[in-house]
Copies of this chain bind each other. A is one copy, B any other.
Amino acid sequence: LAEGRSDALTRDVGRLHESELGDLLEALDPEERTRLVDLLGDAFDFSALTEVDEGIRLEIVESLPNDKIAIALSELDSDDAVYILEDLEEDDQNDILAKLPFTERIRLRRSLDYPEDTAGRRMQTEFVAVPPFWTVGQTIDYLRDDEELPESFSQVFVIDPTFKLLGAVDLDRVLRTHRATKIEDIMRDTSHPIPAQMDQEEAAQIFEQYDLLSAAVTDENGRLVGILTIDDVVDVINEEADEDIRRLGGVGDEELSDTVRRTSRSRVPWLTINLATAILAATVINLFDATIQKVVALAVLMPIVAGMGGNAGSQTMTVTVRALATRDLGINNAARIIRREVLVGLVNGAVFGVLIGVVAGLWFESPQIGYIIAIAMVVNMLAAALAGIFIPLLLDRVGADPAVASTVFVTTVTDVVGFFAFLGIASIWLG
């Protein structure tokens, strides 16, 4: 396909939706990618760049001259333009901004001045705003005649001469009201304006809580500076859930398009921490080497105690991390959840303690070993429950993300406690 026939190509690709073009770009080799963008020339839809991995986006943007980028960006919605600009180096950013028309430049600059991951960075700076004393008729006529309006919008904001936000009117309200009615009589309070400095995750929570479709973004003086729409929020929600899953799984910010070298390096820190904690657990085992030499069955059984604790701990931890992420766990119910998890740990510890006790006792024809492993199992399941709930809570309290570090701490606790309890009881009883 990509053999130079740029006219046919332009026609075929032009039919694609931006996200389909994005998928196409991701499927191609790096050389094919730049070739495709080259051949498409002006027909290349830059919004497709918001749909690809960061690595690929940078690769494509850096292969293009800055003035081409400037022209393309001026045709995008401001939030898409910011999305592409924010990853570039500062020199390139400034160069591209300088080539843009004045209002465009001011708008993008303002978004970029807000810190990453805030509502201000994500917002769209194109919106429709009218004064409160206009009538519905005046508003409709303005919407019909003004050429400068954003491509699509679902509400009209009401502002005073200083751009202070007074309220908003949904389009269906405008359509259902007679022309003579004043806007201020049908406007509703924008009860949940989002401060531009607010973290995007918090903004997403507000959207979810109040089932918003779009919300006004205001600066510290209550002036309207942009709008945040739900499709941006969906992206935030996805990113956050993704981040939680990756962090629980010990994977960093890697992307599917990363190279072997990059992937391998990004996974090393987590494996290093795990190696350190595994060595810690090994030194616990080493304390009891004499007992193990006497009763090798202990070496055979000890991973069962540690492993079951690890699994029970990660169950409790998963529930706790999710409940913290969705703000379902707070001061009101923390005591109840802690009590519940401790009781569940004891109950399941007893159930599986008895089960493994019988199995181990029969296997090694030693009731003593059965008793020992049963007691160790109860102890470790209790430790797992405590670690599974308190470690994420503590991490959350000190401002860390519970998803990122809980797994390693919890399994360290269950390994160390599991080996220590099992081998310790055995060394007293059998030693």
Contacts and interface: CB of A to CB of B under 8 A. Distances in A.
Interface of A: 17, 19-20, 26-27, 140, 143-144, 149, 152-154, 170-172, 174-178, 207-211, 213, 230-231, 233-234, 237-238, 241-242, 244-246, 248-251, 254, 256, 258-261, 263-264, 267-268, 270-271, 274-275, 278-279, 281-282, 285-286, 289, 292-293, 296-297, 299-304, 306-308, 311-312, 314-315, 317-319, 321-323, 326, 328-329, 332-333, 337, 340, 343-344, 347-348, 351-352, 355-356, 359, 411, 415, 419
A83 to B, nearest CB: 13
A77 to B, nearest CB: 11
17 contacts: A143-B176, A171-B171, A211-B231, A234-B234, A245-B322, A251-B319, A258-B340, A263-B344, A267-B348, A271-B312, A271-B352, A275-B308, A278-B308, A281-B303, A285-B300, A299-B299, A303-B415
Contacts of A322: 242, 245-246
Given A230-B234, A318-B249, A343-B260, A306 B303 contact: yes
Nearest to A337: B256
A92 B260 CA distance: 58
A175 B144 contact: yes
A315 B297 CA distance: 32
**Interface residues of A, dominant DSSP:** helix
Q: How many copies does the complex hold?
A: 2
Contacts of A244: 241, 245
A260 B328 CA distance: 18
A304 B279 contact: yes
A242 B207 CA distance: 18
Nearest to A311: B274
Given A152-B170, A213-B154, A315-B249, A328 B271 contact: no
Contact of A249 (B153, B171, B233, B248): B248
Contacts of A299: 285, 289, 292, 296, 299, 302
